[in-house]
Structures are given as C-alpha cells and as structure tokens.
C-alpha cells in the first residue's frame, strides 16, 4: 500500500565551526487508520532518530581499494544518542484506507526515516545558502562547502 509523509526541520548552523544543530523536526506520516497511537508515535520518533544519525553522524568509511570497512565497530561509527535528539512534533494523520485492508490500517515502520536527511539538507541550505550533497553533513563538509561557495563568489562565478 502506498504511504506518504512530510517533514520540516529547523536547524542552526555555526558558520565558524561548521556545526549543525537540529532544533526541531515536525513530521506527518500516513499510516491509514491509527490502531495504536503510542506505537505510531514511537515509530515516528524512532525513524526520525535514525534519519538524524544518517544525516549528521553516521559514516561508514570503506577502503575503496580493498572494499574493507574501516570503522567496523560503534566506537568509530557515531550513532545518535538521546542527547542528540531535538524536539520532535508528530502530527498524526488518521485517514483509514479501505483499499489497504478491512481495518484501513497501513504500515508506519520505515516511512519516517526516509525524508529526514533530505529535510535536514534543505534546512541547512535555507540557513546558509550552500547545498551539501554528501551525508553525513559533518563540520568538515559544511566548512568545505562554505569555502567553495566563497571562492566561487570571489571568482565571480554563478551557483551550480
């Protein structure tokens, strides 16, 4: 069954350090008839939390020559923790879908994860007018993108 969702993200970007701080995420996801509101809320928060990690901290480093993962443990693979989670507002939709099944319910497990990183990328662009194309959006990548944009402007170029 098809599902849909939308997320809006508010960020702060420190242009001196490159640090991105997600202040708030607002999400609305279609899961048909909501049978268990607590479970739906938990799935949305969990999916957004995974998306935050993907967007900001989780980076699988692979040796391109040998295909070996260089950070094979959680010491070098930074997962989001409870301290990293911003305020999450869930706007639940309770729209039964009779085409899905007799109850009108649909799944909610993965859909909240998918739009989180793109929403953060767009919020960063809105904040600093520089587009990032590779996740995670680390301090180094933010600073490199800002430097490239300054160099482009100094050279009189146009935005790509």
Q: What CATH number did the domain enclosing 91 receive?
A: 3.30.365.10
Domain count, the chain: 1
pTM above 0.75, yes or no: yes
**pLDDT above 80 (res 160):** no
CA dist 9 and 122 (Å) reads 8
Residue range of the domain that includes 51: 5-108+125-154
Give 128's contacts (C-beta < 8 A, 6+ positions apart): 13, 15, 142, 146
101 belongs to a structural domain: yes
Quick count: other Cβ atoms within 10 Å of Cβ 152? 14
Identify the pLDDT of residue 159: 66
> Among all residues, which ones are annotated catalytic?
110
66 belongs to a structural domain: yes
Tell me: the pLDDT tens digits for 137-157? 999 999 999 999 999 999 987
Q: Among all chains, which residue has been given the structure tokens 């599902």?
A: 3
91 belongs to a structural domain: yes
CA angle 130, 135, 138 (to 5 degrees): 70
């Amino acid at each position: 069954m098809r599902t849909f969702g939308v997320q809006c993200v508010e960020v702060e970007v420190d242009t001196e350090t490159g640090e991105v701080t997600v202040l708030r995420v607002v999400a609305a996801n279609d899961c048909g008839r909501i049978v268990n509101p607590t479970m739906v809320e938990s799935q949305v928060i969990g999916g957004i939390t995974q998306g935050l990690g993907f967007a900001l901290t989780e980076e699988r480093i692979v040796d391109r020559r040998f295909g070996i993962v260089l950070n094979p443990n959680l010491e070098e693979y930074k997962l989001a923790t409870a301290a990293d989670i911003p305020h999450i507002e869930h706007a639940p939709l309770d729209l039964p879908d009779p085409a899905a099944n007799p109850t009108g319910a649909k799944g909610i497990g993965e859909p909240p994860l998918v739009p989180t990183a793109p929403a953060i990328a767009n919020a960063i662009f809105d904040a600093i007018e520089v587009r990032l194309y590779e996740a995670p959006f680390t301090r180094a990548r933010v600073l490199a993108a800002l430097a490239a944009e300054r160099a482009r402007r100094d050279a009189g170029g146009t935005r790509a």
